[in-house]
Amino acid sequence: MDREIPGKIRPPEVRDDVAELVDTQHRGHELVSLLPGAKQWLLDEIEDPRTNRIDRSAPCQISRNRGEDVAAVKSLADRVQEKAVVRDVIGLARENTGKHPIIGRYKDMAARRYGERPASRADARIDNNEVHGSFGKVPVGAFNGERRFNDVVRADVVRNIDQMCFRRNAENHSFHDSDKGIGKAKVCGERYNHRMRRVYLDSNATTPMRPEVLAAMMPVFTEHYGNASSIHWFGQLAKSLIDDARKHVAQLINAETSEIVFVSGGTEADNFAIRGVVSLKGGAPSGHIITSSIEHHAVMHTCKDLEKQGVSVTWLPVSRDGLVDPDDVRKALRPDTVLITIMHANNEIGTVQPIDEIGKIAAEADVYFHSDGVQSTGKIPVDVKKLGVDLYSISAHKIHGPKGIGALFIRKGSTLKPMLTGGGHERNRRSGTENVAGIVGFGEAARLARQGLATEMRRVGDLRDHFERELKSRIELIHVNAENAPRLPNTSNVMVDYAEGEGLVISLDLKGVAVSTGSACSSGSLEPSHVLTAIGKTPDEAHGSLRFSLSSMTTDEDIDYVIGVLPGIVERLRELSPYYKKV
């Protein structure tokens, strides 16, 4: 039987019957279709015990009874005869052929090319007619020809969550529906249409991990798993990986490697900086802190907690554009002031504070100066030496790195009381066995962010400006919060009159667009955003605001799609408002 082989697909090196098809830019799985006769060949392969190499991940409970297996895959094949996307665990050919005869390129994607890439060791594998690995995936699913990179969010790394997935039960080797799994989170079903285009514009909440980052991390899980405190070869190799990652993180903010302390994320970094300073004298926390009214909750709630313990806190106001006046910082200084903590860039409206000016004021007063740089790092140039900060918080998952890892810059000569005691890791500043895989991923993400800072962020800024211009020209009574202030190039906070923000978020989500109304850390709160009320917005105005946050992975087509769907959504929601009257 003649079968076309699309491009040149490299046979997998890790296992002989699993293949993964991604484009050359690692932008996700290619769209493919079954060629004539492929369906019957697929079924023949299953029914032949000598070549029984089809994955058991089918949309039903599957036992080890071979008859049920065949029926399950027959049912699956019936649904994908026209269009399909290759996932991770399709048996592609007999072992002795080395070819992949059941896959053909989908005609609408003819301009794209297949890349050569061995299958990942992390994927599920098929051996002796059983599926092994932490979870199984449905290998084939039906899609239309418009699916793109943002649709699958790096599908070669993060599997498409809107597909029917079947996780493997480690105890009984059976599969169960994902909405019965961890947290009972329903990630698929009636609400989500897997044919829908998906656009992710919530990058200030988190970003998808780059495939290069995952590739750097994987060997740490499987090969370089030593404890970095051990003196043997495995431990010293892990230590060298940490040292290399520390160098890349330091270079991203122009710091010395010895000034970078790895922690679990931005929240711990903020807590470490603030509590570490006010506790220096021992005993109960004491002194005076100066901060702003628009800080992230990691700073705000920490300062409020310290207030309850007797620390005095001055909450500085901001302008209607969300900017702190450096003169207000100077006026707030007191003899007992021990710390100034002002965020570099706001996570909701994107305003960039005059940190360098505030740094000079702190230096003159000989007061520690901390800045939360979680949102600014990787989006605008950061030079901690020019900024004049003593402490600077950063996080990996905001720059396409892994979650659960961050860092605190501690200027040489600065002293903090450690929050954690133990083995004296990180130069006795943060005890606890190092998260080597996370640190390696952080280092790679920092390296990539530094490389793309000049070009990618300029492109993202142009996209953001185009987005705002188009919305203002197509939707009446719409305003950009903090429009006249220096802002992050990726952030646009838009206030839509006579439309409720949660309704806009849900309506956009149903169109495949992910945005937010503010900080992801307070998304469950019914209270209006403290940032928007601080810049003078009423509760109703604050509730009617949306945050669109782009990333280096956002494309022109993504923005054009949102521009096309948002006006209709606003119009429908305004029709429900008793206060809206068309001009």
Active site residues: 521
Distance CA 187, CA 180 (A): 10
From residue 263, alpha-carbon distances to 271, 419, 426, 439, 520 in Å are: 11, 11, 9, 9, 20
From residue 505, alpha-carbon distances to 499, 512, 517 in Å are: 11, 10, 7
From residue 235, alpha-carbon distances to 226, 230, 318, 434, 469 in Å are: 5, 4, 49, 11, 54
Task: Name the phi and psi angles at 370, rounded to 5.
Answer: -115, 140
Check the CA dihedral 547-550-554-555 and report its sign: positive
Q: Could you tell me the strand order of the sheet in which 288-292 lies?
A: 260-263, 406-410, 391-395, 368-372, 337-341, 288-292, 312-316
In three-state secondary structure terms, 69 is helix
User: Quick check: 319 and 535 in contact, CB under 8 A?
Assistant: yes
Distance CA 31, CA 80 (A): 12
User: Quick check: 325 and 463 in contact, CB under 8 A?
Assistant: no
Task: Name the phi and psi angles at 175, rounded to 5.
Answer: -105, 145
Helices (H), 289-420: 297-308, 326-332, 355-365, 384-387
Q: Which residue has the tokens 């209270």?
A: 527
Q: Which amino acid is at 159?
A: R
Supply the DSSP string of 230-248, one letter for each residue.
--SHHHHHHHHHHHHHHHH
SS (H, E, C) 140-204: EECCCCCCCHHHHCCCCCCCCCCCCCEEECCCCCCEEEHHHCHHHCCCCCCCCCCCCCCEECECC
> Would you tell me how many other CB atoms lie within 10 Å of the CB of residue 290?
29
Distance CA 515, CA 466 (A): 17
Distance CA 186, CA 184 (A): 6
Tell me which H or E stretch contains 78: helix 66-79
The dihedral region occupied by 58, where left means phi > 0, alpha psi between -120 and 50, and beta the remainder, is beta
Distance CA 567, CA 557 (A): 17
